[in-house]
Amino acid sequence: MNTKQHSTYISLSREEWSNLYTSPPIDLSQIDIKNLQGIVGTLTKEEIYKIYLPLIQYLSVNIQATNYLHKARNEFFKMDTKKLPFIIGVAGSVAVGKSTTSRILQSLLSNLPDKPKVDLVTTDGFLYPNAVLKAKGLSDRKGFPESYDLKALLDFLTEIKSGNPFVQAPVYSHLHYDILPDEYHDICQPDIVIIEGINVLQTPKPVGDSIPSRFVSDFFDISIYVDADEPHILEWYLERFKLLKETAFARPESYFHRYADLTDTEAEATATDIWNRINKVNLEENILPTKYRADIIIEKNREHAVERVRVRKI
């Protein structure tokens, strides 16, 4: 009997992945690492060289293939349609570093030789406002699939993939922990759009007797899942919470200002409770089960460094 383990992914170690990069180097002197990394601040130029430049090259291969297919379709249909934006989905747990990954991708892709226009949209803007969440009894389920205005998000993506030259995304404030009314992020004729969010690979759940027919990921040309062991993510979450206590939470207008005067011990206990009641549950029930729906899985170690990359076979 054949007991060989098969996988739908190509699995590459850090060094194997790094050695794949063959494109001309991108000038990193124009890239401000401080503005790309998260509050914990662990990003290094080595990580960009070894992990993100090969990733940019692989994404470029996929973008070029999509461009070729667009040209071939135009020739087949004897049409001259405009190429639609290439959409990259980035998923992963709270505190795993997906926002940093998304900012790096936006910066590096924007610095490719043809200087594409790259927009970054977070799905936080499609959360229901706090007042709506409270009315629905979902205040403690913020970030769970049911806390998002899925119709608005799907309508937004439909507009992008329909070729609408001007689309607006609502804006979320982490300082106020709520949607900012009447504020929008304008998306004007982008070449590439990065959609970042914890549940972007989530499959729709039944609504009454029906199951929604569209997924957010239906609109993605390629998707990435940022992965790490849960104990490491918890460590990063606690570290970030304590840093925010000294910075953003200290601002009087912050939604979390009540945590600013906690001791480190109290802050760790509070953050651990929030993690166990909300983020851990969301990770285990909704986010982690979507990992193998991604085209690319980036696996990070305790030091935030990527130690393995998995790429779906085609």
Q: Residue 241 maps to which CATH number? A: 3.40.50.300
Note whether residue 181 is domain-resident: yes
Mean pLDDT of the chain: 92
Q: Are the C-beta atoms of 203 and 215 separated by less than 8 Å?
A: yes
Note the pLDDT of residue 1: 42
Q: What is the pLDDT of residues 272-294, one digit of tens each?
A: 999 999 999 999 999 999 999 99
Residue 83: inside a domain, yes or no?
yes
Alpha carbon distance 199, 145 (integer Å): 7
Beta strands in the chain (DSSP E): 9-13, 86-92, 118-122, 166-173, 178-188, 192-196, 222-227, 296-300, 306-312
Give domain status of residue 2, yes or no: no
Q: Closest by alpha carbon to 191, among 285, 90, 107, 117?
A: 117
Please check whether residue 1 lies inside any domain of the structure: no
Look up the domain containing 214 and give its range.
Answer: 9-312
The predicted structure's pLDDT at residue 2:
46
Does 139 fall in a domain?
yes
CA-to-CA distance for 82 and 199, rounded, in angstroms? 30
- Is residue 4, in this structure, part of any structural domain at all? no
Count how many domains the chain has: 1
Q: What is the pLDDT of residues 232-243, one digit of tens each?
A: 999 999 999 999
Give residue 42's pLDDT. 74
Is the residue at 247 inside a domain?
yes
In a domain, 3, yes or no: no
pLDDT digits (tens, 9 = 90+) for 71-92: 999 999 999 999 999 999 999 9
pTM score over 0.75: yes
The number of CA neighbours under 13 Å toward the Cβ of 241 is 25
pLDDT for 260 beyond 80: yes
Mean pLDDT, residues 135-142 taken together: 94
Report whether pLDDT(311) > 70. yes
